[in-house]
A and B are shown apart, each in its own frame.
Chain A
Amino acid sequence: MKMRVTRKEPQLAVAGAGVGDTAATAPVRRRRRMTLSVQRTLEGYFFVSPWVLGFIVFLAWPLFQSFFLSFHELQATSLSDLKFRGIDNYKEAFFIDARFLPRLRDTLQQNLLDVPVIMIFSLFSAILANQKIKGVMGFRAVFFLPLVIGSAQVIQQLFSQGVGGAVLSRGVNVQELAFQYLGPDAASGVEQLLNRLLFVLWKTGVQMLIFLAGLNSVSPVLYEAARVDGATDWDRFWKVTLPLLSPVILVNLVYTIVDSFTDTFNQVLQYIQQTAFAGGFRLGYAASLGWIYFAIVFIILATVVRVTNRYVFYAGERNS
């Protein structure tokens, strides 16, 4: 801020000199400049404060409280009745509760498989949607539609009716064709592949958007240069696109991991919610489950970021 203000001074002085007599305005201006920087700071705080206030009251404070709660026993039915339990909640989660660990393992397994698939698929579809061909805008819009209707209610309803991707892919009759021409084994393979594809497609909207933006920020000059040097499309993808895209890949990776681990259909989170609200009303225990889960997600995220960061290529001018 200070730097910026001092840099601006000459401009202001010039403007002032042009308008009035310098002798009279100079001291006034100096005093104003002093208040200006204070005023700017206050204005800055004015802009920041609503979000920060909301953040502290509804996120930061609850977070601290949940950590506190995770060492206590608290029933939602009698909120004043707080009992200290030490690490018993955590012990219970690992050694007594037979429902928590299996769910945790399933969730971890599934998400660790899904994340790379989602990443590769979204990069692939972003590159496709980035081709300069006719009607590509329409395709981009269509690719976002699953995100729009991939909303909890509808998917829940589909699943409750026993509809996975299977029914949806029946809409295009692919399995039957595969069955007729390739035999039953291939057909079930195709079906599984389609189910997976549909599931992934539902989850890639945001990632695709971010990749698309990233692809567009790669300077065409570099492609031009690579082309002149005789690089093929394949070379250009691996040696130009991918390195320049790597910061975006990291952002996307973080987003994908957070997004898939905080998904509402996640078994662990559903179990936590059940413990807290639906069946158990055991707020303290639910809080400790939440913290165990959070710690695991955090470790995964930190590892991924650390490992990936080594391969991320920051071009000099992009550092902000």
Chain B
Amino acid sequence: MAVLARPRSVPRVPVLFGRRIRIQWPSAQYFLLVPLAVFAVLPIVYVISTAFKPLEELLIFPPPFFVRRPTMDNFQDLLLATNALAVPFSRYLFNSVFVTLTTVLLQVLICSMCAYPLSKARGLPGANIVFAMIIAALMFAPQVTRIPQYLVVQKLGMIDTYWALIVPALAYSYGLFMMKQFMDNSVDMALIEAARIDGANEWTIFWRVVMPNVAPAWNTLLIFGFIQQWNDSFSPLVFTRSEAMKTVSVAMISLTNGPATVARLGAQSAAAFLMTAPTIIVFLLRQAKVIQTMAHSGIKA
């Protein structure tokens, strides 16, 4: 009877007799959710707290989790360390921001463009071949192709330009796969037909009808792509030569591996904090859109 008394607090619970245990479900769920959430947050808390640790606390082994005497010294050290770099830090920052944003936006556009006919015009000659290519591409470790990729980039004369950092990353297989799955599932063919009868051309349909309907998918792609590109240190290391073309992630590595590593421990932890901050911001800006709507559109096998 207790169940009948407050059905609101226990949704999805059948109102049946002899199921007393189920009344306790909600609290049991929190009992599991909260520890998991705590574990999920730990790395971030650690990174933030480490960024404010003074040098003597950074040298303790094994490192303590929380900072005891927070200080801003690390950020000053970082400024000093970056002053010693060959190129002003703002240049790295500009490179990173420019390359990441351009790549991610173009990536989303190109993957979505390709997914649209694959998903909605099944009779398109060659569509099956393209889809088979995606499946194959999903299985390859990027490391296998990196060497010849370097040769291609070199042949195209892109070495040491922004092109080398942007163009090779654009045909992203996962992105296409995901966009296609979502379009299969959450864009009704009737909607497209309706737009067509109203005289919309394919581009208008794609941009005004299909894309708004798969907003969770491209937002997810945006987040994944941003994380990936922002942290990518491989392409700038290999595809560029001059210091002025390197990105923040490369600058981070040279900070970490450079001489006087111990003295720069503070600068490193501050840099780690600053390095993660943009990805967290992008995630927080876009995640509500992704997670809330994600559940309703769904990826299907």
For A15, A43, A137, the residue with the greatest tally of chain B CB atoms inside 10 Å of its CB is A43
Tell me whether B144 and A290 are in contact (CB under 8 A).
yes
Residues of B contacting A142 in the complex (Cβ-Cβ under 8 angstroms): 37, 40-41
How far, in whole Å, are A258 and B171 apart by their CA atoms in the complex? 18
Tell me whether B40 and A145 are in contact (CB under 8 A).
yes
Contact flags A307-319 to B (C-beta < 8 A → 1, else 0): 0000010000010
Number of interface residues of B (CB under 8 A): 106
How far, in whole Å, are A133 and B45 apart by their CA atoms in the complex? 26
Tell me whether A51 and B114 are in contact (CB under 8 A).
yes
B-contacting 9-mer, from A19-27, A89-97, A246-254:
A246-254
How far, in whole Å, are A138 and B55 apart by their CA atoms in the complex? 35
Contact flags A221-261 to B (C-beta < 8 A → 1, else 0): 00000010000010000000000000110110010001001
Contact flags B242-266 to A (C-beta < 8 A → 1, else 0): 0000000100100010000000010
For A154, A258, A277, A297, the residue with the greatest tally of chain B CB atoms inside 10 Å of its CB is A154
Tell me whether A148 and B145 are in contact (CB under 8 A).
no
With contacts A158-B43, A262-B142 taken as known, whether A148 is within 8 angstroms of B171 at the C-beta atoms is no
Contact flags A145-163 to B (C-beta < 8 A → 1, else 0): 1111111111111101111
> Interface SS of chain B: helix, strand, loop or mixed?
helix
Nearest-neighbour CB distance to chain A for B32, whole angstroms, equals 6
User: Which of A20-60 touch B at CB < 8 Å?
Assistant: 40-41, 43-45, 47-48, 50-55, 57-60
How far, in whole Å, are A70 and B174 apart by their CA atoms in the complex? 26
Tell me whether B39 and A167 are in contact (CB under 8 A).
no
Residues of B contacting A61 in the complex (Cβ-Cβ under 8 angstroms): 148, 152
B116 interface residue per 8 A CB criterion: yes
Tell me whether B301 and A251 are in contact (CB under 8 A).
yes
Tell me whether A58 and B152 are in contact (CB under 8 A).
yes
With contacts A163-B62, A168-B65 taken as known, whether A149 is within 8 angstroms of B295 at the C-beta atoms is no
A306 interface residue per 8 A CB criterion: no
Tell me whether A151 and B276 are in contact (CB under 8 A).
yes
Residues of A contacting B299 in the complex (Cβ-Cβ under 8 angstroms): 210, 213-214, 248, 251
With contacts A11-B197, A318-B300 taken as known, whether A169 is within 8 angstroms of B42 at the C-beta atoms is yes
Residues of B contacting A146 in the complex (Cβ-Cβ under 8 angstroms): 40, 43
> Interface SS of chain A: helix, strand, loop or mixed?
helix
Tell me whether B143 and A48 are in contact (CB under 8 A).
no
Residues of B contacting A84 in the complex (Cβ-Cβ under 8 angstroms): none
How far, in whole Å, are A139 and B142 apart by their CA atoms in the complex? 33
B240 interface residue per 8 A CB criterion: no
Can you identify 24 A-B contacts, CB atoms within 8 angstroms? A15-B197, A45-B117, A50-B114, A51-B114, A53-B171, A54-B171, A55-B133, A62-B145, A79-B151, A130-B295, A133-B30, A141-B287, A148-B279, A153-B275, A153-B276, A154-B275, A161-B58, A166-B62, A169-B42, A198-B39, A262-B141, A262-B142, A290-B144, A290-B147
